[in-house]
Structure 1
Amino acid sequence: MMDSHKQLFLLSLFLILNLSVLLIIGDIRVVQGEAPTTKMFVFGDSYADTGNIKKGISNSWKDPYGITFPGKPAGRFSDGRVLTDYIARYLKVRSPVPYRLRKLMPQHLKYGMNFAVGGTGVFDTLTPGPNMTTQIDLLAQLIKANVYTASDLSNSVALLSVAGNDYSHYLATNGSTQGLASFVASVVNQTATDLVRIKELGVKKIVVGGLQPLGCLPQVTAATSFERCNDTSNTLVLVHNNLLNQAVARLNQQTKDRSSFLVLNLYDSFMSVLNHPSTHNIQSKLRPCCVGVSSEYSCGSVDQNKVKKYLVCDDPKSAFFWDLVHPTQAGWHAVYNKLRTMNALQHIHH
């Protein structure tokens, strides 16, 4: 009888020791970086694009874009990093490879992929680029081709930056004031449909940016010599964001974990930085750093003789806006820091 107890004891001890060894080996594997990498999939517009827009279409591939990072134009609509880069930093992954460059950088596919294209929207806009539905189609095709597996997607985050271009397109094509309310509703409804579709593809956490204060963009504040934001434009933004928050709350109620979808509060984070610029070492809050020498030119413009037709401020690090629409790297960094202090990012992690 004693022998069988002894055997059981030794067998248990053997199993415990082996299990401990396995756990230790498992821990070593994690330390060595073999744990599954969080993948980030990015959809949307120029606030998130890191190089998908074609070179002939946009000034973002021309000097002086990219002067702060990476030191030359790389397709980002800024002097340096954009929102995508900072959310990737928060997730401790490399900024995902632009879809257009995926075959040139296959070693970076493990970090996810960026489908965002400057100028695009939830619906078609004046920019000849894939709208949100088409961008999501591209991810679906990669999943079908086994570039990304179910296990890859189970450890992934999606970032969406959309809708600003939908509204500028609506206004540019003479959309009526009376029709604006129903257009806002259609933009938010389509965004919600897109969020659900990304979730159905297997992405675990989906983060959608609320609209930034469009009335504070230099292209709008130019009318007041960059002195003040336009309240009418910002009221439209608040209507959009209110509807988006409601839609996302409903989607979360319909999912098991109740926290699959998250709205990134870009409105409050932008406004906080713009209202307290010196806190973030910003000296020029509404005046853009890079502008055309006259209204017919813009940042990055050159004439037929390749003569520069733009001016750049002395210190991009002290300006919030880079051009008429986009923040500088310093601006995005300030917004990112504000999002962190607002605890807006802590729910991104699984």
Structure 2
Amino acid sequence: MERLPQLIIILCLFLTALSSVDARVKSVFVFGDSLFDPGNNRYIKNCTLQANFRPYGSSFFHHPTGRFTNGRTVADFIAQFLGIKFQRPYQELVHRILPMRHHHKRLLHNGLNFASAGSGLLRDTNKDAKVTPIQVQLQQFQSLIAQNHIHKNQTSKSLFFIGSGGNDVFTYFVYPGASKMTPRTYVRAMLREMVHTTGKIYKNGGRRFAFFSIGPMGCIPGRVLIRGASLTQCTHKMDLMVKYYNAGLKRFVSKIPRLFPGAIGVYAAVFDTANKYLDNPKIYGFADVTRACCGAGPLNGQLQCGLRGYTMCLTPNAYFFWDYFHPTEHTYGLISKAFWAGGKEEVWPINLKALSILTRNITLPIP
């Protein structure tokens, strides 16, 4: 009997796929931080968190794009799986395209990316760096709808990616005492912002959501910036906070059909999927899952890649981490495949490929 809900899902997906030869979505809107930022920060005046210099982008684009990795991000890989072009940065749209006042609408047919490196779910996270918090990213999205640059007919047929929270957790530990909240209160504040963001997108037509959990922050090379962090072991306290947030996020995803009728959310288990690679590196083509390929200092995590004095490895694809904070393109590629076509241990309750071909609402089981 416990297999019945899964069989119902499979049958519904099969029938909906038959009902439309080309049912897959062609548009994705992205909100989040540096794991998704395609170059928004490079257009923001006085923003100090940048990746618009070499060797960022060197493995795929062969020039820096503003992405905080050596190539494509998860959003880029999923766009390729969907057969659409990469989403443009919102800031490029408003600074270079909209002022031209012609042909800009056709540039939005595949969606748009609002993600800003360094941003968080909480407004105060890295605010001195002039990044764009998710609340402002949401306002940017709403303004484009109000100005008829994006129509609700498009949003209702689009995927919405939301991936944020890692910077909130990291800053909590880098600046101990800066927040007066306990870890659990802090996480609950983060989750409230996620619920608020989802509700606003829903009111503007969004119906298909993919929520990306926080990865193993305690294992990033940049942990060396935290006083007392171990060079040989992951920072347990930070990962405990991450797990608490991720559990709350998954509970929220399970409630979406009830909270937002007609909507469906999937939970992309970044933490568990990444740990699978970290625990079995050779199986997945990694020679080093501890140090960053590019950077300087202990674990190559003390100095950002590209800054004066950095060093770079010869084979980025053999490394899990590209720089002090971010994965390599190879890692992003593995994660993207897992979320696109993987099982419920990686992406729950259905994968992104299944989500992209839904043409009518279905009822999903609650955990």
TM-score category, normalised to shorter length: 0.7 to 0.9
Please say if residues 49 and 75 of structure 1, whose CA atoms lie closer than 8 Å, have aligned partners that are also in contact.
yes
Matches within 5 A, 1:197-212: 197-212=200-215
1:189 aligns with 2:192: yes
> Identical aligned pairs, as a percentage?
25
Gap change, CA 1:178 and 1:100, over 3 Å in 2: closer
Give the Cα separation in 2 of the matches to 1:318 and 1:177: 41
Tell me the CA shift for residue 108 of structure 1.
2.9
Does the CA-based 8 Å contact 1:273-1:338 persist in structure 2? no
Q: Does 1:261 align with 2:261?
A: no
Deviation for aligned residue 1:255 = 3.4
Deviation string, structure 1 residues 186-235 (Cα, Å, up to 9, x no partner)? 1111111111111111012011111111111111268443x432222111
How far apart are 1:60 and its partner, in Å?
0.7
Structure 2 match to 1:145: 147
1:84 to 59, 75, 79: 75
Q: SS of 1:60's equivalent?
A: coil
Q: Matched residues in 2 for 1:142 and 1:36: separation?
A: 24
**Mapping for residues 30-41 of structure 1, pairs under 5 Å:** 38-41=26-29
Are residue 161 (structure 1) and residue 163 (structure 2) matched?
A: yes
Q: Does 1:61 align with 2:52?
A: yes
Cα distance in 1 for residues equivalent to 2:181 and 2:134? 26
Q: Which deviates further from its counterpart, 268-277 or 214-223? A: 214-223
Partner deviation per Cα, 1:38-70 (whole Å, 9 max, x = no partner)? 211111100010010126623410111110120
Aligned to 1:45: 33
Write the distance in 2 (CA, Å) between the matches of 1:267 and 1:232.
15
SS in 2 for 1:43: strand
Q: Is the 8 A contact 1:221 1:228 kept in 2?
A: no
AA at the equivalent of 1:190: E
Partner residue in 2 for 1:321: 321
Deviations 1:108-137 (A, max 9, x none): 321110000100111222231221111111
> How much has 1:36 moved relative to structure 2?
9.1
> Pairwise mapping of residues 1-350 of structure 1 onto structure 2 (< 5 A)?
38-54=26-42, 57-102=48-93, 104=96, 106=104, 107-124=106-123, 125-126=125-126, 127-171=129-173, 172=175, 174-175=177-178, 179-220=182-223, 223-225=229-231, 227-257=232-262, 260-292=264-296, 297-302=303-308, 309-339=309-339, 340-342=341-343, 344=347, 345=351, 346-349=353-356, 350=358
Q: CA deviation at 1:320?
A: 0.7
Partner amino acid for 1:283? A
The whole-number CA distance in structure 2 between the counterparts of 1:228 and 1:334 is: 24
Q: Which consecutive unaligned segments of at least 5 residues does structure 2 have?
A: 1-19, 98-103, 359-367
C-alpha displacement of 1:173: 5.8
Provide the C-alpha distance between the structure 1 equivalents of 2:222 and 2:141, rounded to a whole number of angstroms.
Answer: 33
Mapped to 2, the partners of 1:278 and 1:256 lie a distance apart of 44
Larger Rg: 1
1:11 maps to what in 2? none
8 A contact 2:42–2:50 mirrored in 1: no
**Contact 2:221–2:323 under 8 Å retained in 1:** yes
Contact map agreement 2:118 2:131 (CA 8 A) in 1: yes
Deviation at 1:149, TM superposition (A): 1.2
- SS for the counterpart of 1:151 is helix
Instruction: In structure 1, list runs of 5 or more residues that go unmatched.
Output: 1-29, 303-308
Work out whether residues 96 and 108 of structure 1, in 8 Å CA contact, stay in contact via their aligned partners in 2. no
Give the TM-score normalised by the residue count of structure 1.
0.82
Higher relative contact order (CA 8 A, sep 6+): 2
State the distance in 2 between where 1:179 and 1:36 align: 43
Count residues in correspondence: 311
Distance 1:348 1:301, change over 3 A: same
Indicate the SS of the match to 1:143.
helix
Partner Cα separation in structure 1 for residue 249 and residue 256 of structure 2: 11
**Match of 1:285, SS?**
strand
In 1, Cα distance between equivalents of 2:242 and 2:199: 23
Question: Is the Cα–Cα contact under 8 Å of residues 303 and 324 in structure 2 kept in the other structure?
Answer: no
Change (3 A) 1:49 1:203: same
